[in-house]
Amino acid sequence: MGGAVAGRGSRLPPPGGEFSVDCRLCPRLAAHLDVVRRDHPAYHARPVAAFGDPRPGLLIVGLAPGMHGANRTGRPFTGDHAGILLYDTLHRYGFGSQAVAVAPDDGLELRGCRITNAVKCLPPENKPLPAEIRTCNGYLRAELQALAPPAVLALGTVAHKAVLRALDCRIADFPFAHGASHRPRPDLRLFDSYHCSRYNTQTRRLTPEMFRGIFADIRNYLDGAGR
Ligand code: SF4
Each residue of 143-170: pLDDT tens digit? 999 999 999 999 999 999 999 999 999 9
Nearest-atom index, ligand 1, CA of 1: 8
Q: In CATH, what number is assigned to the domain containing residue 163?
A: 3.40.470.10
In a domain, 181, yes or no: yes
- Cβ 23 under 6 angstroms from ligand 1: yes
In a domain, 126, yes or no: yes
In a domain, 207, yes or no: yes
List helix spans (H) across the chain: 27-39, 70-73, 81-92, 130-147, 157-166, 198-202, 208-224
- Cβ 24 under 6 angstroms from ligand 1: yes
Question: In the structure, what pLDDT confidence band is assigned to residue 3 with cuts at 50, 70 and 90?
Answer: very low
Nearest to 152 by CA among 175, 121, 194, 183: 183
In a domain, 180, yes or no: yes
Q: Rounded to whole angstroms, how far apart are CA atoms 190 and 157?
A: 12
In a domain, 77, yes or no: yes
pLDDT, residue 16, reads: 72
Each residue of 41-100: pLDDT tens digit? 999 999 999 999 999 999 999 999 999 999 999 999 999 999 999 999 999 999 999 999
Tell me which of 10, 25, 126 to substitute to probe ligand 1's pocket, judged by most ligand atoms within 8 Å of the beta carbon: 25
- Cβ 140 under 6 angstroms from ligand 1: no
| Cα-to-centroid distance, 146 and ligand 1 (Å) | 19
Residue 26: domain span: 5-222
Question: In the structure, what pLDDT confidence band is assigned to residue 18 with cuts at 50, 70 and 90?
Answer: confident
- Cβ 206 under 6 angstroms from ligand 1: no
pLDDT, residue 123, reads: 98
| Cα-to-centroid distance, 83 and ligand 1 (Å) | 22
In a domain, 187, yes or no: yes
The CA-CA-CA angle for residues 125, 73, 97, to 5°, reads 120
In a domain, 227, yes or no: no
Number of domains making up the chain: 1
